Structure 1
Amino acid sequence: MLSILFFCYLTGFSLGIDIHQFPSNVISKTGSEVVLFCSHEQASHRVILWYQKSPGDEDLKLIGYGYGQFNNDSVEETFKKHFRLDGDLQSAKKNLSLSIVGLKVEHTATYYCATREAHYFSDAVNIHQPPSELVRDGEQSVTLKCEQDSDQIYYMYWYRQASSGEMELVAYSASKDASSIEAPFNNSKYTMTRRELRRTELQIHPAEAKDSAVYYSVSITDSAHCASTSEAIFGGGTKLTVLDKNIPITPPKVKIFYPSEKECRDYDRKKKRTLLCVASDFYPDHVSVYWKRNGRNITNGVATDPAAKKEEKKYKITSRLKIPLEEWVDPNNKYTCIVTFFDGKNYTDYNDNIEGLFLKHIIILNLLFKIAITRGYYMRVTQNAKVSYTVLIVKSCVYGAFVCFLVWKLQGKRGKQRK
């Protein structure tokens, strides 16, 4: 038996709001409790929502929301065991805090709060929709319907919420007789119709067991013709990491790698050289990377991984700096890669740099003799030069001693002949 539940909502959103969300980073141990805070001062925005974005997941999951007032039912079913909401949405400074109790490693995620305008149901706008629909697996089709009685409703949407809790947009309509099906859903399976401005239907054909879900029809009242009232305003987000008790907090090892041999062989002055900074073997993954040249921050030519990558139990992140050849060969330049690491209490910088002394020598070898110079090659050349120089000095000393001995012998023979 295929069961489908669906509801109809009247919603609205607004832009231009300053949201204050803090802290930005939290590191805590399993079993403990953390509290995240969110507030704003926009009178008409009486709705505050909290979302979770897990590592590697592109979707935001709704944890819960406050709508003028809230209670235990304001937290979504899958989050009720460990998540609590508290705050004040009636005062001038509206706030809604999110508490996470009995922390687990799987609670590691980035958390966002958002706000939107509260459009309450009124006698002027009535929405009618059957509460449920039951069909058998394999039936040709099932049709979901939604109807409202306002001519001010321009946009209507159909959403699908599977048992995992994720909400996916299936289709939307901006006006009468106009609709679109969103990927990954397709027109051969789903059809949205809107023959009248006030009514919409979503047809699923054929109906299969995997289509079991809660389907939401959302209507947005848009007096500004969707110019600025169709999006929620998000805060900056809070990155939460629940520490694995079996992995100790470990700072990063930072290393700069010089331009590759291939780049060094390229003598085109218009092309740039690339410095590679690698921070590895750290835990947790609360890091930021930036570059300096001679003590000043560099932003142009910097490309850093969007997030640290996990390798077994520790993390690794890389950053690349592209610099013009004339800057690379300037012996007065010193490049530093700095990795800021947050251990749950303090932010600490770890760095590596390129010394100018190395640059002076590779300039001569690279530009005058057209030799592709890498750090390893340079070290081998200089080491060989030191050995050769030492051998030359020893030979010179031996040769000098030998010459002195011959001179002394010759002088001795001449003295005897005179006598």
Structure 2
Amino acid sequence: MAVKFQQSSSIIANQNASVSIECSHDDSSLTVMLWYQHRPDTRSMMLIGYTYAINTNYENELEKQFKMERTTLLNGSLTVLSASPSHSAVYFCAANATAIIFDPSSPKTVHQNTSVEINCHHDDNNMEIMLWYKQLQNGQLKLIVYSYIGFSPDFEEDFQENFGIKRPDTQTGTLSIFNKRVRDFQVSVLICTKGTETNSQPVCFRQGTRLIVQEPNIYITEPKVKIFKPSEKEGPRSRTLVCVASGFYPDHVTVTWLINGDKAENGVSTDSVPQRKDKYYTITSRLMIPREKWYNPTNTFKCNVLFFNKFNNTDHFDEIKGIEGKNAISREKYMKTTQAAKLSYTVLILKGLVYGVFVGALVWKLQGTIGKQ
């Protein structure tokens, strides 16, 4: 049964403030509580420390910046003692039966449609199960696969094609992403964790807490959203719409595409982190669709940007309709063509009926003439 976590929601704090992030879960067998920091500019997860019963262990003198507390076995908190812009990050609370050390991995840059391998190694030979997660744009961790020594890996539904796992030994593993699926992992963070035969998910993550430390003399500003039409020079099979959300602060946004009101799941590629210029941020998202969808004026494409303004989430969007192309047919033209076809068909039927009556009458007359003879 999956462990249920509760963790503080997104926080925007003033500089030099003390900020606490609460965490709780429901599994008393997981006695170790760990805290991780993920900063977008580092592309990696940093262990802050972990608590076990009354013992507290910090990494690399981080006790000068953070304070971890355990009020009960199932409840704990992480406090940023004096918040600064460098503390703006996503913080993850995790639970485990024991604490182990993972070797850090460096960022990888690869071309699209090429394969990539990500290696993982830890120091506990008792942990037979290795799990891989992908960090999503909103900070959540999505399980890709877990593997057990001597058995076939178990991939989640969204990752069953173009992925592979190698386990040369208990402490080492490699995740391979093949060819076209590399595109789905642009600027992504992949997280490796481990398990035992009796507990396949001992290191349990859930959605992190996004902390943003507001910089002085910069005010919270909502994004402006604009969709740009596809280029007519694009290939024969597809068209790509580009959505740009710009001029916002802080960088807490989530981008979603909708086609005729339904969320688009395929063909979406969004920057994992907004880019900053001067005081404000910009994020770009692309939606690739089949050519015929764009050349249909009845289709509506909407780019929605969810923005956290310190108190709640607000929606900001732009939308655009498909166009009539050379090979497309408008609704009005379609109706006219259909009506003309119906009229032609009706006339053809009437002609057939008249011809049938004429032939019938001629046959009847011939039969009468033969009968008289």
TM-score calculated relative to the size of structure 1: 0.53
Q: Does 1:114 align with 2:94?
A: yes
Report if aligned partners of 1:69, 1:89 keep a CA contact under 8 Å in 2.
Answer: no
Which structure is larger by alpha-carbon Rg, 1 or 2?
A: 1
- State the Cα distance separating 1:20 from its structure 2 match: 2.2
Q: Which of 228, 233, 250 lines up with 1:262 in the alignment?
A: 233
Query: d(CA) in 1 for partners of 2:244 and 2:196?
Result: 52
Q: Map residues 19-418 of structure 1 onto 2, 5 A cutoff.
A: 19-23=5-9, 25-70=10-55, 74-76=57-59, 78-90=61-73, 94-118=74-98, 224=197, 228=199, 232-263=203-234, 266=235, 268=236, 271-355=237-321, 359-360=323-324, 363=325, 366-367=326-327
Q: What residue identity is the alignment partner of 1:252?
A: P
- State the Cα distance separating 1:16 from its structure 2 match: 4.1
Q: What residue identity is the alignment partner of 1:82?
A: Q
Query: d(CA) in 2 for partners of 1:336 and 1:169?
Result: 39
Aligned residues: 247
- State the Cα distance separating 1:285 from its structure 2 match: 0.7
Report if aligned partners of 2:30, 2:202 keep a CA contact under 8 Å in 1.
Answer: no
- State the Cα distance separating 1:104 from its structure 2 match: 1.0
TM-score calculated relative to the size of structure 2: 0.59
Tell me the SS of whatever aligns to 1:37.
Answer: strand
Higher relative contact order (CA 8 A, sep 6+): 1
% of aligned pairs identical? 38
Deviations 1:185-225 (A, max 9, x none): xxxxxxxxxxxxxxxxxxxxxxxxxxxxxxxxxxxxx973x
Query: What does residue 136 of structure 2 align with?
Result: none
Query: d(CA) in 2 for partners of 1:294 and 1:171?
Result: 47
Tell me the SS of whatever aligns to 1:80.
Answer: helix
Query: d(CA) in 1 for partners of 2:26 and 2:246?
Result: 42
- State the Cα distance separating 1:75 from its structure 2 match: 3.9
Report if aligned partners of 2:38, 2:90 keep a CA contact under 8 Å in 1.
Answer: yes
Tell me the SS of whatever aligns to 1:57.
Answer: coil
Structure 1 unmatched ranges of 5 or more: 1-14, 120-155, 161-167, 176-221, 369-419
- State the Cα distance separating 1:341 from its structure 2 match: 0.9
Structure 2 unmatched ranges of 5 or more: 105-118, 127-194, 329-373
Tell me the SS of whatever aligns to 2:327.
Answer: helix
Q: What residue identity is the alignment partner of 2:90?
A: T
Q: What residue identity is the alignment partner of 1:27?
A: I
Deviations 1:342-388 (A, max 9, x none): 111121111111146xx24xx2xx338xxxxxxxxxxxxxxxxxxxx
Q: What residue identity is the alignment partner of 1:29?
A: N
Tell me the SS of whatever aligns to 1:97.
Answer: strand
